[in-house]
Amino acid sequence: MKPNGFFPERILRLKAYHVPSAEGLIKLDAMENPYSWPEPVRELWLEFLRATELNRYPDPRATALKETLREVERIPATFDILFGNGSDELIQILIASLIGSEGGVLAPEPTFIMYRQIAEMFGVPFTAVPLREDFSLDLEGMVQAIEQRHPKLVFLAYPNNPAGNLFDRRAVETLIEAVDGLVVVDEAYAPFTDKTFLPDLDRFPNLLVLRTLSKWGLAGIRIGYLVGAPEWLEQFDKLRLPYNVGVLTQLTARFALTEAKPFLDGQVAEIRRERKRLFKALQALPEVEPFPSETNFILFRTPNADRVFEELKTKKILLKNLNPQGGLLRDCLRVTVGTPEENGQFLAALWRIVR
Ligand SMILES: *Cc1c(COP(=O)(O)O)cnc(C)c1O
Query: Is the predicted pLDDT of residue 18 greater than 90, yes or no?
Result: no
Q: What is the pLDDT of residues 73-126, one digit of tens each?
A: 999 999 999 999 999 999 999 999 999 998 899 999 999 999 999 999 999 999
Q: Which residue among 113, 193, 215 has the greatest number of ligand 1 atoms within 8 angstroms of its CB, and so is best to mutate?
A: 215
What atom of ligand 1 comes closest to residue 112's alpha carbon?
A: 13
Report the SS3 class of residue 354. Answer: helix
301, 326 Cβ separation under 8 angstroms: no
* DSSP states along 22-69: -TTSEE-SS--------HHHHHHHHHHHHT--TTSPP-TT-HHHHHHH
Report the SS3 class of residue 228. Answer: strand
The predicted pLDDT at position 102 comes to: 87
Residue 152 identity: K
Handedness of CA 300, 303, 305, 310 (dihedral sign): negative
29 CA → ligand 1 middle, Å: 13
355 CA → ligand 1 middle, Å: 34
Largest CA distance in the chain: 59
Strand 317-318 versus strand 26-27 pairing type = parallel
Q: List phi, psi (to 5°) of 298.
A: -130, 130
Q: Which residue among 29, 117, 214 has the greatest number of ligand 1 atoms within 8 angstroms of its CB, and so is best to mutate?
A: 214
What integer is the mean pLDDT of 301-310? 97
Residue 173 identity: E
Report the SS3 class of residue 102. Answer: coil
Helices 340-354 and 305-314: angle between axes, nearest 10 degrees: 120
Ligand 1 neighbours by CB, cut-off 6 Å = 31, 86-88, 112, 157, 161, 186, 188, 212, 214, 219, 224
108 CA → ligand 1 middle, Å: 16
CA distance 47 to 58: 18
The predicted pLDDT at position 214 comes to: 98
The predicted pLDDT at position 329 comes to: 98
What atom of ligand 1 comes closest to residue 213's alpha carbon?
A: 7
* Closest protein CA for atom 2 of ligand 1: 188
The predicted pLDDT at position 103 comes to: 85
CA distance 197 to 135: 20
Which residues have C-beta within 8 Å of that of residue 179, sequence separation ≥ 6? 146, 151, 154, 206
CA distance 336 to 355: 22
Q: What is the pLDDT of residues 194-210, one digit of tens each?
A: 999 999 999 999 999 99
Question: Which long-range contacts link 71-79 to residues 24+ away (Cβ below 8 Å)?
Answer: 72/257, 72/258, 72/261, 73/198, 73/211, 75/198, 75/227, 76/202, 78/202, 78/229, 78/230, 79/201, 79/227, 79/228, 79/229, 79/230
What atom of ligand 1 comes closest to residue 89's alpha carbon?
A: 9
The predicted pLDDT at position 29 comes to: 97
Q: What is the pLDDT of residues 141-175, one digit of tens each?
A: 999 999 999 999 999 999 999 999 999 999 999 99
Percent of the chain with pLDDT over 90: 96
182, 208 Cβ separation under 8 angstroms: yes
32 CA → ligand 1 middle, Å: 11
Mean pLDDT rounded to a whole number for the chain: 97
What integer is the mean pLDDT of 229-235? 98
Q: What is the pLDDT of residues 339-351, one digit of tens each?
A: 999 999 999 999 9
Which residues have C-beta within 8 Å of that of residue 292, sequence separation ≥ 6? 164, 165, 279
The predicted pLDDT at position 317 comes to: 98
The Cα angle at residue 145 between residues 178 and 188, in degrees rounded to 5: 70
Helix or strand holding residue 190 (H, E): none
What's the pTM value of the predicted model, to 2 decimals?
A: 0.97
User: Which of 14-23, 33-42, 54-63 has the lowest average pLDDT?
Assistant: 14-23
* DSSP states along 129-163: EEPPTTS---HHHHHHHHHHH--SEEEEESS-TTT
4 CA → ligand 1 middle, Å: 31
CA distance 294 to 292: 7
The predicted pLDDT at position 349 comes to: 97
CA distance 287 to 271: 25
